[in-house]
Structure 1
Amino acid sequence: MTQKKQETKLILSTDTLGGYGLDYIFSLAKKCGFDGLELALWKNFDAQNPEYVKELSEKHKLKVRGIQTSASLNKKEMNKALDLCEELNCRNININAPKFFNYKAFNFIKSNLKTYIEKNKDINFSIINPEDGSFFIIPLPKYRFNNLVEIIKKYGSYLALDIANLDEESFEDEFYRKMKDFLPYISTIYLSDKDKNGKSHNIPGEGILKLPSFLKKLKKKKYNNDICIKININKADLADNEKTEIILKKTVNYYKEYYKDIEIKE
């Protein structure tokens, strides 16, 4: 399992801005300093039109670097993701793991994922680790990454790591200390924080996860794939364009301070 070498890019998931039009999301992401977007297909209806998305990408000079599919993935949604990848020259499809007892989505992935991978060798198909600890309806100890990696190997896919879906102990013990073992299987890292009450996808730095040391180690290990901002912004702030812009710029500055601009001594 190998991935093409590239420079780490900071991208914004449209999952963060549900309810906004795609044209405005492109404009805002560009203004705030993001390097690209991840399209959450089920969040933005206009994201499902490849020609329109390409037009916006060219208009705003901002590349679509990932397509995120829902936890109820089916053939129609996967084919739409593939159409977008072809039109936009995008290399990443990030799949939300099916919810527990969603047998229809689970069986679709189980029966078809390997075939999609074999027929689309230029695309990284990745599974997003779920918040509830259930993974493909297999009874696993919660957040046991060794087991998750074995499943990733089985399907020949990658892992899109959402660190806010880990509890604090798992983040520090299961992943942080064994980072080098997992990095070859990771195509995207979703960067956000969580509070002591378990509320997840907070603004980076506004929670309990030790993100600065994590990001420093990530850079030291020469991670070179995308880092994606996917946060929950409350409805009041989302309704205020100025506040939303301030929040997004804050996440970009956090990324620069604790990852992009730090110097690693060899």
Structure 2
Amino acid sequence: MAGDLINVTFSTASVFPRRCAYAFELASRVGYDGMEVMVWSDPATQDATKLIDLSDKYQIPITSIHAPSLVVSQNVWGVRPARKLERAVQLAEQVGASTVVVHPPFVWQPRYAAVFHEHVKVLSRGTGITIAVENMYPWRRKNREYLAYLPHWDLTTQDYDAVTLDLSHASTALQDSLELTKKLGSSLRHVHLADGTGSAKDEHLVPGMGTQPAREVIEYLVEKNWDGDLCVEIGTRKVDNAAHRESLVRESLEFARSAISGASVPAMPVAHEEALHHRPTDAWN
């Protein structure tokens, strides 16, 4: 079956601010196929030996690394964005991950932005690691939009060999994820599965709890025999307790697998209740 080509993986970002080790334990217990490690201030996310130990302990492979390209990780691995990406690729090689996710440069990094496209291409071809540049969004405040990323936040205006589609970012950019999926074509190698309501906040809701066509995106990818990772990256920073977080993590996995198999969407009582009293989970702004 075409859907057998798709792994549903779990981003350590989904448990922020909890530590990396907790994400591994939770993903393994719930039944995810692999892990994406967001490199940030947690020392374990920067240490290949510790990550391999976690992977072995919980019997779950590390399939992707997210380079430290967030505002909250500006000081991780120094201040040079090119070096940060190079170290992320080295880490991926050490832990056996095939993909590195990276954001385009910020507007205050114009020198790197001028060489970013070529740096990504050369580094990827030299190592065999897929470097998938992630779609972003304009920063919006008081009904005004600000360009925060160079050359642009919209991947359809660029020409990268490999890209990551984040459904929450598409929502914040007021774009349709299914349309983006079709436009990105064969360059789409990785998906951050989440949802949003079009808020200026980067919400990272449980898939199916916002207005993005998350199920349709998955069904389209299955139809096209896509073989990348669907990586669940939801915001759980403001959950009430560990059981609440686990319910959202479990419901996200069930949503993905039902869409891949073509089964009916399962009831998601916890996520639905949260949506009725929606509080933006802006962990990655």
TM-score, normalised to structure 2's length?
0.76
Cα distance in 2, alignment partners of residues 136 and 118 from structure 1 = 24
Shift of 1:102: 2.4
Shift of 1:83: 2.8
In structure 2, relative to structure 1, the CA distance for the partners of 1:13 and 1:104 (3 Å cut) is farther
Match in the other structure for 2:157: 147
1:86 to 89, 93, 96: 93
Shift of 1:172: 5.9
Farther off after superposition, 110-119 or 40-49: 110-119
In structure 2, relative to structure 1, the CA distance for the partners of 1:196 and 1:109 (3 Å cut) is closer
Match in the other structure for 2:84: 77
1:100-111 correspondence runs (5 A): 100-103=107-110, 105-107=112-114, 109-110=116-117
Match in the other structure for 1:50: 48
What RMSD over aligned residues (CA atoms) do the two structures have, in Å?
A: 2.6
1:1-266 correspondence runs (5 A): 7-42=5-40, 44-71=42-69, 74-103=81-110, 105-107=112-114, 109-110=116-117, 112-120=119-127, 122-132=128-138, 134=147, 137-138=150-151, 143=154, 146-148=156-158, 151-152=159-160, 157-167=161-171, 170-171=175-176, 174-175=179-180, 179=182, 181-199=183-201, 200-237=203-240, 240-262=241-263
Aligned residue identity for 1:124: T
Cα distance in 1, alignment partners of residues 104 and 34 from structure 2 = 23
Contact 2:178 2:217 in 1 (8 A): no
Shift of 1:91: 0.9
Aligned residue identity for 1:132: P
Shift of 1:68: 0.5
Shift of 1:80: 2.7
SS at match of 2:89: helix
In structure 2, relative to structure 1, the CA distance for the partners of 1:45 and 1:222 (3 Å cut) is same
Aligned residue identity for 1:125: I
Cα distance in 2, alignment partners of residues 253 and 241 from structure 1 = 18
Which consecutive segments of 4 or more residues in structure 1 shift more than 6 A? none
SS at match of 1:16: helix
SS at match of 1:78: helix
In structure 2, relative to structure 1, the CA distance for the partners of 1:78 and 1:170 (3 Å cut) is closer
Cα distance in 1, alignment partners of residues 108 and 248 from structure 2 = 36
Structure 2 unmatched runs, 5+: 75-79, 140-146, 265-285
Contact 1:127 1:160 in 2 (8 A): yes
Farther off after superposition, 32-41 or 105-114: 105-114
SS at match of 1:94: strand
Shift of 1:236: 3.8
Match in the other structure for 1:3: none
Q: Deviations over 1:118-153 (max 9, x none)?
A: 321x21011001122858523x6x74x5423xx21x
SS at match of 1:193: coil
Cα distance in 1, alignment partners of residues 46 and 115 from structure 2 = 20
Q: Deviations over 1:5-49 (max 9, x none)?
A: x82101111112222222221110111111111111125321111
Contact 2:35 2:60 in 1 (8 A): yes
Contact 1:10 1:35 in 2 (8 A): yes
In structure 2, relative to structure 1, the CA distance for the partners of 1:251 and 1:132 (3 Å cut) is same
In structure 2, relative to structure 1, the CA distance for the partners of 1:132 and 1:261 (3 Å cut) is same
SS at match of 2:204: strand
SS at match of 2:49: helix
Contact 1:129 1:135 in 2 (8 A): no
Contact 2:12 2:24 in 1 (8 A): no
Aligned residue identity for 2:58: H
Contact 1:18 1:44 in 2 (8 A): no
Shift of 1:108: 6.0
- Number of residue pairs the alignment of both structures matches: 243
